[in-house]
Structure 1
């Protein structure tokens, strides 16, 4: 693959040599970076005009479900990777909630081996507990040796403080990190949406924010005790942001992420019982959404996690009570984020979607220089995009974004000597 990318802006935290210029990629590697690149008439390369768009190291998604193995009717590694590639992502962390569960080194190897031929690097997240049952620790050390990027029980967060304590102590041996989606399942067990005025008006059981906030308070205490590393993902309330900000100020090794959906929608958007907006954690109030937005802007929230959770048609097109949680989102992450927070600078976008995740999870640092592998995302905040069913690369279609015009557009993704242009 040989391609010349022209009319390109360089965010200051991505490349300091130029603010505007061109990049030539040959055979999957960066060949030249210059204000203007001249080619001989005999040289045949593809040309992409970025029209003033920006470049970033390839984006990283840390908490998605590709349902493979075991649930390939919802998604598989190939279709999930295609959706990620189209959305600007070159690295995706996959949840262990498959069948069989990713709780041993053979399952880790399965994902790594199958991803070798894909345009996106897939990283298994190893289960903390065997079978995701929350009772005893899995083969965490072996999974780490085999390539697990982190540890988590995914959508079934650890309820046992004792088991989480052991896990946090265990991962210190190799400076590992645990990802927790905070939710005390003994509170609001049957809740369908955020507990509040909207749930009362719609006649739906509520899931209170305290179920999330109590879990965060507990886990912060365990991190303080163990001096280990923990990442909270899917935080959804104003108090959650404040609790995590205070813990970080104290110097605890805690980071957090939020979904683009929680930055854009609120529980008011559920007035029509749209099952595509049935999520866990649920969409909360406008005040909570505004606190999340402020956390993204001021840095208290470290990064964006799409939480791409595909569901089969039959599990979404049904009564709200029985519909399953989650939405797909890899192809709409950037546009949803820019629609919610159009004031975000290209530098902050690169940090939220790439640079910070690489630091937090110990991925190799990518630099823009000649000879380096081209692992890049080209995006344009000044353009708009509309996600259509024809554009959708996922097997699933549980998205509230179809047909909606959103700010911002991913122009292209370059990875593994391949390119996807939108």
Structure 2
């Protein structure tokens, strides 16, 4: 589809049009012209949207759908539609289906699912077979098929020697190892952050040291082996400090944080709402402050929605039995951009995550492929069930005040509007 975006403020620090309000003409999927005023040719569709702002297409490297195996939670086809309408043109798809993504055939299956759609899928393969933590999976074969990293999703690696071998082995082909920061022996049967709220509510707590001691171990291993290590969704002040120190040493370590852990605290738990049962658990305002500082100073590389659809049968039950996870694609921008500031938000959802995973995105300029997210920073509203596009409705942001609006995306020659 050939389109003309009228009066769009461009946010792309790599573009010569950064922070300028311009018309953008897209023909055959390519940005053919950027100018103050462009008259729409007869063969194109003119798009006029209030306070239209465009950036490079957003990339969320931690997204889960239900398919394969849990299609009642979310199919890949519908998940792609949700992602596009929420502003994302690329997603990293976690290995938590049935079967898990632990072979090149599953990677190929997932890659095929995004052909001809407005969202590119980049599978994340399991680090170990069946994500059991016992035997390293077919890492090289999966990378050749298109996997961008390897991670046993939401499972801490118990076997230190296995992680050591994985870090050594992946150096031969430039693979990226991910290690979820949780020592399960310490977290045990905990369901929320250990602190005043867990005590008052009578819920088993997960101490911050369960995360921090795992990160410390993994950083020692990385210092010994070399290689590349990514630590997903950190949540504590001490975790930020540990990774900052490791980066200062020159270790090739990166990390991320979820929107939930930048905006919500364990004060939300007072009503025992299963939508707030998230892993890592929601922490404190002090932790949030440290995480935001970590984003600003470059310790934390990028943000993610950590989108995880869970069916109502596994959420609307006793809090301690509810399954962990919250959807987040629809709420990420409107809940977070005002807190971080638009420039930092765009950097941490476009440039930074693509650098971590070795991906590229075209600059917003003439002659480049159009890969764009469309949104507005103005207006505020209460986030309700009407704002949820996902099949599963387990959102931690229901009833929260949000700012701005996502209009959609243009990618792979497809315009998607919410």
Superposition TM-score tier, normalisation by shorter sequence: over 0.9
What RMSD, in angstroms, separates the aligned Cα atoms of the two structures?
Answer: 1.6
User: Is 1:350 matched up with 2:351?
Assistant: no
* 1:230–1:254 CA contact under 8 A, matched in 2: yes
* 1:14–1:57 CA contact under 8 A, matched in 2: no
Residues 46-125 of structure 1 mapped to structure 2, 5 A cutoff: 46-125=45-124
Q: Residue 414 of structure 1 corresponds to which residue in structure 2?
A: 410
Q: Residue 255 of structure 2 corresponds to which residue in structure 1?
A: 256
| CA shift for structure 1 position 270 | 0.7
| CA shift for structure 1 position 184 | 0.6
> Which ranges of structure 2 fall in alignment gaps of 5 or more residues?
none
Q: Residue 35 of structure 1 corresponds to which residue in structure 2?
A: 36
Instruction: Note the alpha carbon deviations across 1:191-219, whole angstroms, 9 max, x for none.
Output: 01000110000000001110000011011
Separation in structure 1 between the aligned mates of residue 283 and residue 298 of structure 2, nearest angstrom: 21
* 2:85–2:407 CA contact under 8 A, matched in 1: no
Matched position secondary structure for 2:319: coil
Q: Residue 191 of structure 1 corresponds to which residue in structure 2?
A: 190
User: Is 1:147 matched up with 2:146?
Assistant: yes
Range with greater deviation from structure 2 (2-11 or 161-170): 2-11
Q: Residue 25 of structure 2 corresponds to which residue in structure 1?
A: 24
Separation in structure 2 between the aligned mates of residue 71 and residue 39 of structure 1, nearest angstrom: 45
Matched position secondary structure for 1:271: helix
Give TM-score scaled by structure 1 length.
Answer: 0.95
Give TM-score scaled by structure 2 length.
Answer: 0.96
| CA shift for structure 1 position 321 | 1.2
User: Is 1:374 matched up with 2:370?
Assistant: yes
Q: Residue 172 of structure 2 corresponds to which residue in structure 1?
A: 173
* 2:16–2:365 CA contact under 8 A, matched in 1: no
Write out the 4+ residue segments of structure 1 that deviate beyond 4 Å after TM superposition.
none
Separation in structure 2 between the aligned mates of residue 287 and residue 361 of structure 1, nearest angstrom: 30
Matched position secondary structure for 1:382: strand
Aligned residues: 417
Matched position secondary structure for 1:280: coil
Separation in structure 2 between the aligned mates of residue 106 and residue 357 of structure 1, nearest angstrom: 26
Separation in structure 1 between the aligned mates of residue 385 and residue 171 of structure 2, nearest angstrom: 45
| CA shift for structure 1 position 227 | 1.6
Q: Residue 328 of structure 1 corresponds to which residue in structure 2?
A: 327
Cα gap change, 1:403/1:82 in structure 2, threshold over 3 Å: closer, same or farther?
Answer: farther
Instruction: Note the alpha carbon deviations across 1:302-339, whole angstroms, 9 max, x for none.
Output: 11011111101011111111111000010111111125
Q: Residue 292 of structure 1 corresponds to which residue in structure 2?
A: 291
| CA shift for structure 1 position 239 | 0.4
| CA shift for structure 1 position 385 | 4.9
